[in-house]
């Protein structure tokens, strides 16, 4: 990880502690009676800037301490690392988080941009953001509370861009919370449901790897989250 998930500093993050564990994993073949044991590793790292601790999990148990940053961060929760979030939105959001504590106005404007990108990626490109959001909410049949959350992001983004009074730090965090809930509903939940439905259609005897109880794949030796050949 290049930036601290708490303070967004790039001063550095250092490994502090390693703990090994044994847990159960299962074949993706739902008819398989076998339960396997897999070894996992948990890492604790410390931000050199703010001193807060970061907990991550290598559920394949293959990473050495010097590769702790390749493990999945469990705490603090980083929801937008989910693969279902479009890369364009994820990159814009990550850039926004790096400046959140430095400029609350700029952060909220960037979150507003993420909402606009969500509309565009759903084929809604014309009109004001208010009109785009109206079409998006109708297209996705968003519940009333989520519609209100999306409009709060839009309105506070307008305020941050055009008004003299700055955004309060608390409102900045609440806008962040609203955005994460929206991404969970729009992208993450549909992805999880699709995976659930696909897994339950797996043919008898078909082998597609091993998964943990919470549905995470146990990686082969030498591989890690985001691994590319």
- Residue range 56-104, pLDDT digits in tens: 998 878 888 888 988 888 888 776 667 889 999 999 998 898 888 889 9
Same domain, 58 and 125: no
Predicted confidence at residue 189, as pLDDT, reads: 92
Domain for residue 208, yes or no? no
* Number of structural domains found in the chain: 2
Same domain, 70 and 93: no
| Sheet of strand 35-47, all strands in order from the earlier edge strand to the far edge | 72-75, 53-58, 35-47, 13-27, 210-212
Q: Is the peptide bond before 76 cis (omega within 30 degrees of 0)?
A: yes
CA separation, residue 128 to residues 24, 51, 120 (Å): 51, 43, 12
Domain for residue 228, yes or no? no
Instruction: Round the average pLDDT of the chain to a whole number and report it.
Output: 86
Domain finish residue from 46, 77, 108: 77
Residue 223 has pLDDT above 70, yes or no: no
Q: Which residue has the tokens 């814009």?
A: 92
Handedness of CA 5, 99, 102, 160 (dihedral sign): negative
CA separation, residue 185 to residues 104, 141, 142, 145, 193 (Å): 25, 11, 9, 12, 11
Domain for residue 221, yes or no? no
SS3 58: strand
More confident residue, 9 or 12: 12
42 is in which domain, residue-wise? 1-77
Predicted confidence at residue 149, as pLDDT, reads: 95
Domain for residue 223, yes or no? no
Same domain, 49 and 103: no
Are the CB atoms for 86 and 187 separated by under 8 Å? yes
Please enumerate in sequence order all residues whose Cβ is within 8 A of that of 4, keeping only pairs 6 or more positions apart, or say none. Answer: 10, 11, 13, 47, 49, 50, 52, 54
Same domain, 118 and 23: no
Radius of gyration of the chain (CA): 20
Handedness of CA 141, 147, 153, 154 (dihedral sign): positive
**CB neighbours of residue 182 within 10 Å:** 22
Predicted confidence at residue 69, as pLDDT, reads: 87
Same domain, 45 and 91: no
Q: Which residue has the tokens 């691994």?
A: 227
Same domain, 139 and 91: yes
Same domain, 176 and 93: yes
Domain for residue 211, yes or no? no
Closest CA relative to residue 5, chosen from 114, 58, 80: 80
pLDDT digits (tens, 9 = 90+) for 127-175: 999 999 999 999 999 999 999 999 999 999 999 988 878 899 999 999 9
Same domain, 109 and 43: no
CATH (domain of 118)? 1.20.120
CA separation, residue 73 to residues 44, 102, 135, 228 (Å): 10, 24, 35, 19
Predicted confidence at residue 175, as pLDDT, reads: 95
Closest CA relative to residue 59, chosen from 20, 30, 97: 20
Q: Provide the pLDDT confidence category of residue 181 given band limits of 50, 70 and 90.
A: very high
pLDDT digits (tens, 9 = 90+) for 186-206: 999 999 898 888 877 766 555
Same domain, 95 and 160: yes
Residue 33 has pLDDT above 70, yes or no: no
Domain for residue 166, yes or no? yes
Predicted confidence at residue 204, as pLDDT, reads: 56
């Amino acid at each position: 990880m290049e930036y601290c998930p708490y303070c967004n500093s790039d001063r550095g993050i250092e490994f502090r502690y390693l703990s090994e564990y044994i847990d159960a994993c299962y074949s993706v073949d739902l008819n398989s009676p076998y339960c396997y044991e897999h070894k996992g590793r948990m890492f604790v790292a410390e931000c050199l800037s703010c001193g807060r601790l970061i907990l991550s999990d290598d559920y394949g148990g293959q990473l050495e301490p010097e590769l702790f940053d390749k493990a999945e961060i469990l705490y603090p929760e980083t929801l937008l690392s989910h693969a279902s979030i479009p890369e364009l939105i994820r990159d814009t959001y990550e850039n926004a988080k790096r400046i959140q504590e430095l400029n609350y106005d700029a952060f909220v404007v960037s979150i507003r941009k993420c909402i606009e990108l969500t509309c565009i990626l759903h084929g809604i490109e014309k009109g004001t953001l208010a009109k785009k959001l109206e079409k998006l909410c109708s297209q996705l049949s968003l519940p009333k509370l989520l519609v209100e959350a999306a409009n709060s992001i839009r309105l506070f983004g307008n305020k941050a861009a055009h008004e003299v009074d700055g955004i309060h730090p608390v409102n900045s965090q609440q806008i962040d919370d609203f955005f994460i809930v929206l991404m969970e509903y729009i992208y993450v939940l549909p992805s999880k449901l699709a995976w659930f439905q696909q897994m339950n259609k797996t043919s008898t005897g078909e082998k597609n790897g091993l998964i943990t109880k919470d549905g995470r794949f146990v990686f082969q030796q030498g591989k890690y989250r985001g691994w590319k050949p």
